[in-house]
Amino acid sequence: MILSRDLPAESSFMLPFRSATMKDQQQGDPCRIFRPESIHLALDSRSKMSRESVKRILVVGATGFVGPALVEEFSRAGFYVICGVRNLRSAARQLDFPNVEVIRVDMNEDLNPNTWLDRLRRHRVDGVVNNVGIANAFGGQSIENVNVNAPLALFEAVYFYSRENRVAGRQPQDVAVIQISTTGVNWDDCDAYRYPKSKKLIDESLIETTGLNFIIVRPNVIYEPGRGHLLLEQIARLPVIAYIGNSPIQPIHCRELAIGIVRLMENPCKADCSILQATGPVVMTWKEIFFSVCSALGCRHGIFIRTPLLVAQVFTNLIQRLPERMLYRLGILSKLDNDTIEMMTKGSTGDNREWLKKTGLQPMSVFETYRRLAISPEAYAEYVQSIRDTVVRY
């Protein structure tokens, strides 16, 4: 069922911790709120899960690459998931899991904390995951709004919502927030790139606040067979493999990231205002990643050619004019702009010990992931399930 109507806000408020680095984007009447459209996906009757008894999680940025994995893992773990998305119908196809509700949000426009406060109240949210992040502006979107100002408005609303519940003696009284950032914020020249710069700004705003129960998760390069910006299994089969840069990175499997975030939310006491480096178990260069995937899949190793940055940028801009089917054969699933290609050369690593300690995860390696995939889809699915089922005490 789809609903769309305006409702008055129950209250308006101003909070003391809006970052001084951000422009105040609140516009229009603060006592006027947009009630988003919503679609209720099938509430699995077999599970007989009561909406009153299960933990309710708001995931903003629920589509794209990481979003569907997050939603699926929360659903599998028994949460009721409210997914904030721009396109309801497209999201309903991507997020067809039990106990999921899809609501329309627009991170380019939802800059008033009251808008988010109304949603938190209406959906009785227990926890929030901010997975929103765009690397480049498109379709009239603003990176500052989508990556910084809208999440900041959401976090302000969470602060007020938690305080309001504590005063009234209602639950939840301490809403956990998980902010998904990037290890790119650790670069010395982070401010030269719009994406990590925007993540750094919202991270700093969270760190400077008081009264919020949060964790900042900073993943490295994220991969998963069949999904993502680059299809490593397709690239591994090419006779000539071009790579850029020789800097070390620590790729993390998308499922490891998603399962870890679910475990953090299952134990909100762990949301202790910490920063976790969600990096993979092995430090590798891009050449070593491609070589490892080739070996795991049993492919005959092709010719590896290190490509200068400028050549890679020109070549990528040209081939992205090809039909999608051709791009798929080349292992490219999404548009790559010049900044993204340059960031791929920079390298980024991080100490994942606290990430593993707090999540109890068995880390997933690139080689083992693709070795299982080469055996069969079932073997790969069993590998992912073993990660869900295994808790390691570090």
> Has residue 341 been placed in a domain?
no
Distance between CA atoms of residues 364 and 33, nearest Å: 43
Structure tokens at 305: 């050619």
The pLDDT mean for the chain works out to: 84
pLDDT given for residue 315 in this prediction = 80
Distance between CA atoms of residues 92 and 76, nearest Å: 17
pLDDT given for residue 235 in this prediction = 87
Q: Cβ distance 177 to 271 under 8 Å?
A: yes
Q: Is the dihedral of CA 125, 37, 153, 82 positive or negative?
A: positive
What does the pLDDT look like over 335-359, one tens digit per residue? 677 888 888 888 899 999 999 999 9
Q: How many domains does the chain have?
A: 1
CATH number at residue 138: 3.40.50.720
> Has residue 320 been placed in a domain?
no
pLDDT confidence bin for 67, thresholds 50/70/90: very high
Q: Containing domain of residue 58, as a range?
A: 5-223+251-278
> Has residue 24 been placed in a domain?
yes
What does the pLDDT look like over 177-196, one tens digit per residue? 999 999 999 999 999 999 99
> Has residue 274 been placed in a domain?
yes
> Has residue 187 been placed in a domain?
yes
> Has residue 126 been placed in a domain?
yes
pLDDT given for residue 270 in this prediction = 59
> Has residue 294 been placed in a domain?
no
> Has residue 117 been placed in a domain?
yes
What does the pLDDT look like over 291-340, one tens digit per residue? 999 999 998 777 899 989 888 888 877 877 777 777 666 666 666 778 88
Convert 22-50 to b/e letters by CB count within 10 Å (16 or more is b): beebbeeebeebbbbebbebeeeeeeebe
Distance between CA atoms of residues 155 and 177, nearest Å: 8
Q: What pTM did the predictor assign?
A: 0.85
Measured distance between the N- and C-terminal CA atoms of the chain, rounded to whole angstroms: 46
